[in-house]
Amino acid sequence: MQKIETANAPKAIGPYSQGIIHNGFLFISGQLPLDPGTGNISGTTSAEQARQCLENLKAIAEASGADMTRVVKTTVLLTDLTEFAAVNEVYAGYFSDPFPARACYQVAALPKGALVEIEAIVALKP
């Protein structure tokens, strides 16, 4: 296993890595909408926060030498499922057909009071 870490994404706020490479895949930990420079939540709406989550995912993917076109699976966590359409609109701007497989769940709460968290699995080689 190889640890992936970049200053272009927020530091882990617990005992986990930003990303781990194993068997040709990059497993990116759930990304909160934290600004990497300040560590504070970026955005007040679910859509704004989703954009920051995806920017953080993108930075970690790029640190491994990959990009968002290599994402094969995501999991989206929302504190309010009625925000699904707004988050989907932002999400669609980061991916193209064939879109990654995805699961989306409503959760009771997320760390630091975030509204959105997104994790991803990235295939490193075609």
Just list the catalytic residues: 104
Give yes or no for a contact between 108 and 7, defined as CB atoms under 8 angstroms apart. Answer: no
C-alpha to C-alpha distance for 35 and 74, rounded to whole angstroms: 20
Q: Which of 94, 97, 99 is nearest to 68 (CA)?
A: 94
User: Dihedral, CA atoms, 29, 114, 39, 12, nearest 10 degrees?
Assistant: -20
Q: Which of 7, 5, 122 is nearest to 66 (CA)?
A: 122
Q: Any residues with CB less than 8 A from the CB of 13 and at least 6 apart, and which?
A: 32, 34, 111, 112
